[in-house]
Amino acid sequence: MRYLFAALLLLVTALSQGKEVAFTFDDAPRKATGYFDGPTRAKTLLQVLETHEIPQVAFFANTSNLTGERLERLRRYGDAGHIIANHSHTHPNFNTQELQAYIDDVNEADQILRDFPTFKPWFRFPFLREGNTAAKRNGMRKFLDEHGYINAYITLNNYDWYIESLFQEAVAEGKRVDLDRLRRFYLDVMIAGIEYYDQMAIQHIGRSPKHILLMHEMDISALFVGDLADALRNRGWSIISPEEAYTDDIASYRTPSVLKYNAGRIGEIAYDKGQKTDLWHETLNEGYLRARFTAEVLTPETAPAGSRVKTPRAE
Judged by beta carbon, residue 126 or residue 131, the one nearer Zn ion is: 126
Shortest reach from residue 91's CB to Zn ion, in Å: 6
Rounded CA-CA distance 222/213 in Å is: 15
φ, ψ for residue 85 (rounded to 5)? -140, 180
67 within 8 A of 52, measured Cβ to Cβ: no
**Dist CA 170 CA 200 (whole Å):** 34
- Based on CB atoms, which residue is closest to Zn ion, 27 or 198? 27
d(CA 136, CA 143): 10
Site for Zn ion in 246-285 (CB under 5 A): none
CB of 27 to Zn ion, least distance (A): 4
Q: Which residue is nearest to Zn ion (CB)?
A: 26
Q: Which range, of 73-81, 125-133, 138-146, 220-228, touches Zn ion by CB under 5 A?
A: 125-133
Least Å from the CB of residue 97 to Zn ion? 14
Closer residue to Zn ion in complex, CB, 26/219: 26
For position 164 contacting Zn ion by CB under 5 A, the verdict is: no
Nearest CB to Zn ion, comparing residues 25 and 246 = 25
Q: Which stretch binds Zn ion (CB under 5 A): 122-130, 184-192, 220-228, 289-297?
A: 122-130
How far apart (Å, rounded) are the C-alpha atoms in residues 129 and 132? 8
Q: Crossing angle of helices 286-296/160-172, nearest 10°?
A: 50
10-49 residues near Zn ion, rule: CB under 5 A: 26-27
Torsion of CA 178, 159, 116, 98, to 10 degrees: -150
- Binding residues for Zn ion, rule: CB under 5 A, are 26-27, 126
